[in-house]
A and B are shown apart, each in its own frame.
Chain A
């Protein structure tokens, strides 16, 4: 008991501090215990998790697991160290607490004693300096002496028992030391075991990695070898397949080519056939069109010719009174122009007499009236001819004409006999014919006149001849034009 000698107030303060510290210490110890419990729980939990994860077979987790185990081990080691510290502190504190307990007990004892001695005085005797009587003080001192004696006696006993206590304490100490050493050794052993295990695991993991790497390289090599082999095989197969495919392709191609050639030939033949037929039809059509054109041309020409001939025949009727018709030249020219390739029509058109072209011809009516005017003249010179042409003959002829009466018109017989050649008869026949419009027969009859009568009617006869010729030509042309028109006209 090495309590330092300090003033009592300070002591009490110190005791108070000590108690406060003790309270704190107990709180801290409780907290530490709670914390220790929590930590152990946490570590146990972690251990279970690690054990669970060890059960997993994921390779990548193994180093993590390993690291976690190492951490756990370290934490356990730290925890144990801390626990030992805490235990050391606790043992120190126990000593202090024992000491403080003893002190407290002593205090209590003292107080009890004091209170038993002086029941009036309370435990807090510092404030009682004025109230204490000498008896109380003497009692107190006597108590104190008695206490001191007691304590001296205890001290002597204690000295005697010191050695035994010391040995017992040493024994206890040894035991405790043994225990502590055992626990320490145990914990150290566990730690070592744990470390060794962890080391083993680490080594295992390393070796596994190395093995894995090697395995991978071997596998890679094998894979490379395999790919090489496969490549070679594939190459060979490729060659074979290529050859096969080439063959198949060439055969198919040949087939297709043949087919194509056949088809094109067929197509060409068909096309040629179609073209030929189309060409034949085309030429047929062209010929038909040409012939159509030609026939139309012919029809047009015929029509033109017919029109020209109609115009020409119309000019025949343009005689006014005693004057002749208009000259037929223009119309004849038109007719000639409209039949340039027609020899027959050209010949006919060229057969028109010149006088009719230049001067025109007389109409039948005018010729008839002229005949009527020249008939008396012819009658009067009926007796005159080459032999008889003196003035006396003229007188006789005039006399005859005055005295001879014949019918003005007399139908001519079919055949003229010798006695019909009498001028008077001829003139009456001709007159009859003219009255009946037969200019031709009249001209023929008048043509039989001889001598001076013939000379008298000469001009009239030429005129009639011209008219008859023109009329004949025009009628021929008209008939021809009609025939041609009929022949070439299209049926509607």
Chain B
């Protein structure tokens, strides 16, 4: 059902954002702890990277329908 697609997309987005944010945060924390002597900037970097990736993914997912694919161009 086409009306549920948006909801599904949002679910994916949120899930993806949570995952990416968590992963980024975790990696940031890890890196911060491991490599960067407990500075906070890897955490924020990591979470920012995660969030940014999630945002990008979400946006791509949401506009995936409008994207003209290479295969279509060739067809």
Which residues in chain A, 348-388, are within 8 Å of chain B measured between CB atoms? 370, 373-374, 377-378, 380-381, 384-386
Closest chain B residue, CB of each to CB of A371: B3
Tell me which of A389, A394, A459 contacts B1 (CB under 8 A): A459
Does residue B59 face the partner (Cβ distance < 8 Å to A)? yes
B56, closest chain A residue (CB) = A391
Residues of chain B in range 32-67 having any CB-CB distance to chain A below 8 Å: 55, 58-59, 62-63, 65-66
Give min CB distance, B10 to chain A, whole Å: 9
B19 within 8 A of A: no
Cβ 8 A contact of B3, one of A385, A390, A391, A456: A456
Q: Is the interface of A mostly helix, strand, loop or mixed?
A: helix
Set of chain B residues within 8 Å of A374, measured between Cβ atoms: 3
- Does A389 contact B3, Cβ atoms closer than 8 Å? no
Q: What is the CA–CA distance of A378 and B4 in the complex, to the nearest angstrom?
A: 11
- Chain A contributes a number of interface residues (CB within 8 A of B) equal to 21
* A212 CA / B6 CA spacing, docked (Å): 169
**Closest residue of B by beta carbon distance from A385:** B66
Inter-chain contact A456/B62, CB cutoff 8 Å: no
Any chain A CB within 8 A of the CB of B71? no
Contacts of B58 in A (CB 8 A): 391
* Residue of B6, B55, B59 touching A456 (CB-CB under 8 A): B6
Judged by a CB distance under 8 angstroms, whether A460 is at the interface is yes
A252 CB-CB contact with B under 8 Å:
no
Q: For the complex, give the distance between the alpha carbons of A378 and B2 in Å.
A: 11
Instruction: Decide yes or no: A391 and B59 within 8 Å by CB, A381-B6, A455-B65 being known contacts.
Output: yes
Quick check: B63 and A389 within 8 Å, CB to CB?
yes
Which residue in chain A gives the minimum CB-CB distance to B63?
Answer: A389
Q: Is B5 an interface residue (CB 8 A)?
A: yes
Say yes or no: A459-B63 contact (C-beta < 8 A), given A391-B55, A391-B58.
Answer: no
Interchain CB contact under 8 A, B66 and A389: yes
Q: Say yes or no: B66 contacts A460, CB within 8 Å.
A: no
Residues of chain A contacted by B6 (CB below 8 angstroms) = 377, 380-381, 452, 456
Cross-chain contact A391 with B2 (CB below 8 angstroms): no
A381 to B42, CA, bound (A): 36
Q: Is A186 an interface residue (CB 8 A)?
A: no
Name which of B7, B55, B58, B59 has the most chain A CB atoms within 10 A of its CB: B59
User: In the complex, which residues of chain A have a beta carbon less than 8 angstroms from the beta carbon of B55?
Assistant: 391
Q: Which of B2, B5, B7, B62 lies in contact with A389, CB distance below 8 A? A: B62
Sample of 24 A–B contacts (CB below 8 Å)? A374-B3, A377-B3, A377-B7, A380-B6, A381-B6, A385-B66, A386-B66, A389-B62, A389-B63, A389-B66, A390-B59, A390-B63, A391-B58, A391-B59, A452-B6, A455-B5, A455-B65, A456-B3, A456-B5, A456-B6, A457-B2, A459-B1, A459-B2, A460-B3
Give B residues with C-beta under 8 Å from A: 1-3, 5-7, 55, 58-59, 62-63, 65-66
Residue ranges of A at the interface with B (Cβ–Cβ < 8 Å): 370, 373-374, 377-378, 380-381, 384-386, 389-391, 394, 452, 455-460
Given contacts A378-B3, A390-B63, A391-B62, 16 further A-B contacts (CB under 8 A): A373-B3, A377-B3, A380-B6, A381-B6, A385-B66, A386-B66, A389-B62, A391-B58, A452-B6, A455-B65, A456-B5, A459-B2, A459-B3, A460-B1, A460-B2, A460-B3
